Amino acid sequence: MKEWHKQFDWLLLFCWGALAIIGLVAIYSATQGPVSEFLPSYIQNNFSNQVIWIFISALAIILLQFTAPRSFIQISVLFYIACLILGIMTVFWGTESGGATRWLVIGGLRIQISEFMKLATILVVAQYLTSRRDISAEKVGPALTSVLLMIIPASIVLLQNDTGTALVMLSLIPVMLFWSGLPYGISLFIVSPAVVGYFAILNWQLGIIVAILLTIGVFLIQRRPSLTLVTFVVGMLIVIGVQVALYQILQPYQQARIEAFINPSLDPEGAGWNVMQAKTAIGSGGIFGKGFLEGTQTQLRFLPEQWTDFIFPVIAEEFGFIGAGLVLILFGMLLLRLLYNAGEHKHPFAQLVMVGITGILFMHVLINIGSATGLLPVIGLPLPFVSYGGSSFLANSIMIGICLNLRLHQRSFSTF
């Protein structure tokens, strides 16, 4: 391809690389600091392992640029089925850690299949919705089939007791269907359970109020009495379901996380410890931070899982508002660039893939930083490209590589 460098999205690649470097710095601080000798050896190796995964991911991104875009359509169904099978295998033969069975050992490597299942779901739904010109999410049949394609892998992940990843996968439903032509009112109806559920966790009366407001919104937008009634009924059921789940269904450690989210001070040395230490670290960083390897919460190991779930407080404590703000700016640039590329692309499959990937990354950023700042319950999700984790970093990098490919080959792909 002549003058390929002009078509290549260097800004998107820069955001990926900058976030990866920031992540390496934070992982080093979290695992190689002054008292790192007290950490288990496998954690002390996190920094060197992450360097290897970044190198592997960079190679994957490069190789993906030489792949024909239509290959992503051709492999989507097979990739989806393979991930489902491996996901089921993980449920029965996976490795358990932290209350969840997320990892499957293949060839001596521990792989988190659910990370790749997210990409497989995006590809197969995009392939289905664009397989025929007469398919549109605005029609009931294709919409329900698409929802089923997204619910199946999310259900398998739930069986692995990985609630956070399952929620991220379910968030694809309104994102991809809306981009495929789903009306605004129906899109609002689809997201209403999540919104009502969030406020119902805080307070059941508040959940009811939000459910009523969303019902009014659906009526004003869609003007369909039947849909309005369903929205209200679903909202009420969500409020009831949240209360039942909180006290009857959830595991004790999950209940403790919810209670810590609502009021961390109720158990400052137990369930509320994570949130309180994370907020302390973020607040103590000030404008410029305490300096590299100088964060007391980080170096004295007050922060839990500070190389994965709580890596954002490490950055905020040692590099302050400037460092934390830089991370948010880079994520904002990356997500907006993905949406811009989706809007500019002429092929609907490419659009849906890039929008789905944007939705996945956005939810990870929202939930991870929301958990660290006490705005959301702690459900254990890594910060893309920043947190330690081989499967997560590789899967997310492959997503970026695919987006770069679709942008690079936009002219040739749009014509077929």
- For the segment 271-307, what is each residue's pLDDT rounded down to a tens digit? 567 788 888 899 999 999 999 989 888 888 888 888 8
Asked if residue 313 has pLDDT above 70, the reply is yes
Cβ neighbours of residue 410 closer than 8 Å, sequence gap 6 or more: 7, 344, 345, 346, 347, 350
Assess whether pLDDT exceeds 90 at residue 57.
yes
Whether the predicted pLDDT of 152 surpasses 60: yes
Residue 242's pLDDT is 81
The per-residue pLDDT for range 113-151, each reduced to its tens digit, is 999 999 999 999 999 988 865 555 566 677 788 889 999
pLDDT tens digits, 384-400: 999 999 999 999 999 99
Average pLDDT, the chain: 87
* Cβ-proximal residues to 208 (8 Å cutoff; 6+ apart), any chain: 200, 235, 236, 239
Please check the confidence at residue 106 and state whether its pLDDT lies above 90: no
pTM: 0.89
Q: How is the beta sheet containing 95-97 ordered, strand by strand? A: 95-97, 100-106, 109-112
- State the SS3 of the chain: CCCHHHHCCHHHHHHHHHHHHHHHHHHHHHHCCCCHHHCCHHHHCHHHHHHHHHHHHHHHHHHHCCCCCHHHHHHHHHHHHHHHHHHHHHHHHCEEECCEEEEEEECCEEEEHHHHHHHHHHHHHHHHHCCCCCCCCCCHHHHHHHHHHHHHHHHHHHHCCCHHHHHHHHCHHHHHHHHCCCCHHHHHHHHHHHHHHHHHHHCHHHHHHHHHHHHHHHHHHHCCHHHHHHHHHHHHHHHHHHHHHHHHHCCHHHHHHHHHHHCHHHCCCCCCHHHHHHHHHHHHCCCCCCCCCCCHHHHCCCCCCCCCCCHHHHHHHHHHHHHHHHHHHHHHHHHHHHHHHHHHCCCHHHHHHHHHHHHHHHHHHHHHHHHHCCCCCCCCCCCCCCCCCHHHHHHHHHHHHHHHHHHHCHHHHHCC
Domain ranges of the chain: 4-177+267-414
What pLDDT, in 10s, does the model give residues 207-217? 899 999 999 99
Q: Is the pLDDT of residue 64 over 80?
A: yes
pLDDT at position 382 over 70 = yes
> What does the pLDDT average to over 35-50?
77
- Sorting pLDDT into bands at 50, 70 and 90, what band is 102? confident
* Confidence at residue 113, expressed as pLDDT on a 0 to 100 scale: 94
pLDDT at 324: 96
What residues have CB less than 8 Å from 69, skipping those under 6 apart? 347, 350, 405, 406, 409, 412, 413
pLDDT for 267: 60
* Mean pLDDT along residues 343-352: 93
pLDDT band at 55 (very low <50, low <70, confident <90, very high): very high
Tell me the pLDDT tens digit for each residue of 233-281. Answer: 998 998 888 878 777 766 676 666 666 666 666 666 665 677 888 888 9
pLDDT at 316: 96
pLDDT in tens, 159-197: 888 888 988 998 898 899 888 888 888 888 888 888 888
pLDDT band of residue 401 (cuts 50, 70, 90) is: very high
In order of 31, 190, 286, the CA distances from 44 in angstroms are 5, 44, 28
Compare 404 and 37 and report the one with higher pLDDT.
Answer: 404
Return the pLDDT at 236.
Answer: 92
Query: Using 50, 70 and 90 to split pLDDT, how confident is the model at 2?
Result: low
Tell me, what's the pLDDT at 321? 95
In the structure, what pLDDT confidence band is assigned to residue 37 with cuts at 50, 70 and 90? low
Q: Among residues of the chain, what percentage have pLDDT more than 70?
A: 88
What pLDDT does 263 receive? Answer: 65
Tens-place pLDDT, residues 217-234: 989 988 888 888 988 999
Output the pLDDT for position 318.
95
Q: What's the distance, CA 21 to chain centroid? A: 20
- Dmax (CA) for the chain in angstroms is 64
